[in-house]
Amino acid sequence: MAITLVALLAIRWHLSPYRKLPPGPRGVPLLGNLLQLSMQPWQLFTEWKDIYGPIISLNLVGHTVIVLNDHKVASDLLDQRSAIYSGRPRSIVGSEFLTGGLSLAFLSYGETSKRMRRSTHEALSKSGVKDYLRLQSMEAAIMTKGLLDEPAKFDAHLLRTTTSITTNIIYGADTMRRATDPAIKQISAFMARALRAAQPGAYLVELFTWMKYMPTWLAKWKRDALEHYNSDSKVFESLFDGVAEKIAKGDEQPSIVASLISQQKRHGLTKAESSWLAATFYGAGVETTAGVLVFFIQAMLHYPHVQERAQAELDAVVGRSRMPTFEDMENLPYIRAIAREALRWKPVGPGGMPHMLMEDDWYDGYFIPKGAIVLPNIWAMNRNPEVYGPDATEFRPERFLASSRSSSPVDGMSSYTYRPEDDAILAPAPRYTKEEGHVTYGYGRRICPGRFLANNSLFIDIACMLWGCSFTPLVDASGQKILPDIKNHTSDGIILRAMPFECDITPRFPEVADVIAQTEESF
């Protein structure tokens, strides 16, 4: 009997498609690869790519996780087969308790998520975001002034800028003038809770789902999540109601919430769904753009020649009697290349947002089972030397430029060495990057809906900062430069942040303050 049972099990295993899972590291019984993961797993996944290849299979307490380390593989699956790769893994804490099933970030792909995305598509489309150019220009001027007035608080000024832009676009709110505005602290707390909940393994209930049914008095995680959901819902619905009251009084300001209210019947969203949708965009827009700008400043300190070249371009195109505008964009290819490189070099979401496969699939002879969590390793792809060259770990905007007399091949970056005297243009982006030059914004139906808005903000913010400011390292008592650590980062498991650092920020020329003041008066 025992022999028969063993034989049957052997036959079943031989016929099982699970034998064809992609390769990956061996784990331990029950826990699988869980103990091998670190707080920054994308770096480990990148190392495993050299051992197991571009597509890796992991086992996390019985859950299959597929890691994609290659542009083509990620595009083939998440873009070309997005109909079945657009699910979201179940998040008991994040989705079911902390956000009440109302956050687009946690929602699996379905009718509700489709209605939410459709309702904001027009406002966040490539043509729709043109309505916000004037606002973004004004905020960039205010930010530049803040950096020069209080250089030691540069990170707070960057956060103020992104928060002010986002609250204006989402809620039609007035410009925030202070880096200490209470709304910044409020939204940061909400995002910190959501990001922690999204981190794999942050809560045991995600691995041992029976814990969901523990009584509230015995489960502090459940009690805290429900309390936060109730308090956040009150805040978000209050912000939503504030816009509705202004509309009723005839004091409407153009905003995404105003659009949601006017088209509520058409899109079929409830008040709760609309208020949480607005808040989700609010939080995502604030955290990511500010993080990219901090990494940009790091790069300016480590790569001063990039700063010098960019400022030469600004002087030639813009001059010093006015600040840069969006009308200068086409004539500032080096500034645009810096923005692309900032997004590529240190992606704020290096591990990618998790997708979930909604039915069994096969790819390149490998079996990927229904319910598998699929992670695009943005870090590995953005730093792939086969695509970006042997210096892929360096900050080099020139990789996105070409001479107007030649162009780059679409499979990878050109070996073209940029020279200031060249008539430079943006080179064609590498294949599988959707003309962005990187994959930081994600894939398929889960691609970042605010990417066009973010691209515009980064362009004008970087242009204005480099036009008006010089970024230099501090020096110690012996005259040695104190450079920020760019090899190490901090993260909550999802969002990458720079380690705290200091620098000098000074006006580039005497008239900077006067020109900024004139610019502010013009808005």
Phi, psi for residue 28 in degrees, rounded to 5? -115, 160
Q: What is the mean pLDDT of the chain?
A: 87
**Would you say 452 and 126 are in contact if contact means Cβ atoms under 8 Å apart?**
yes
Q: Is 376 helix (H, G, I), strand (E, B) or coil?
A: strand
Q: List the single range of 2-6, 17-21, 373-377 with lowest mean pLDDT.
A: 2-6
pLDDT for residue 461 is more than 80: yes
* Amino acid found at 388: Y
Instruction: Provide the 10 A C-beta neighbour count for residue 463.
Output: 29
pLDDT for residue 180 is more than 80: no
**Would you say 18 and 367 are in contact if contact means Cβ atoms under 8 Å apart?**
yes
pLDDT at residue 16 in the model: 73
pLDDT at residue 1 in the model: 53
Environment class of 453 (CB within 10 Å of its CB; exposed 0-12, middle 13-18, buried 19+): buried
- Whether residue 464 is annotated as binding a ligand: the answer is no
Give the distance, in angstroms, between the CA of residue 169 and the centroid of all CA atoms in the same chain. Answer: 18
pLDDT at residue 403 in the model: 74
What's the rounded Cα separation, in Å, for the pair 489 and 6? 50
pLDDT at residue 419 in the model: 59
What are the chain's domains?
2-521 (1.10.630.10)
What's the rounded Cα separation, in Å, for the pair 307 and 338? 9
More confident residue, 469 or 101: 469
pLDDT for residue 303 is more than 80: yes
pLDDT at residue 5 in the model: 46
User: What pLDDT, in 10s, does the model give residues 58-73?
Assistant: 998 888 999 999 999 9
pLDDT for residue 314 is more than 60: yes
Question: Model confidence at 3, in pLDDT bands (50, 70, 90)?
Answer: low
Question: Model confidence at 253, in pLDDT bands (50, 70, 90)?
Answer: confident
pLDDT at residue 452 in the model: 94
As a whole number, mean pLDDT of residues 378-396 equals 96
**Would you say 349 and 494 are in contact if contact means Cβ atoms under 8 Å apart?**
yes
pLDDT for residue 151 is more than 80: yes
pLDDT for residue 6 is more than 90: no
What separation in angstroms does the CA of 153 have from each of 150, 182, 188, 369, 433?
6, 16, 17, 49, 35
As a whole number, mean pLDDT of residues 111-121 equals 82
**pTM across the whole model:** 0.90
User: What pLDDT, in 10s, does the model give residues 341-359?
Assistant: 999 999 998 988 889 999 9
As a whole number, mean pLDDT of residues 368-393 equals 95
Q: Cite the beta strand spans of 338-479 per DSSP E.
A: 355-356, 361-363, 366-368, 373-376, 401-403, 424-426, 469-472, 474-475
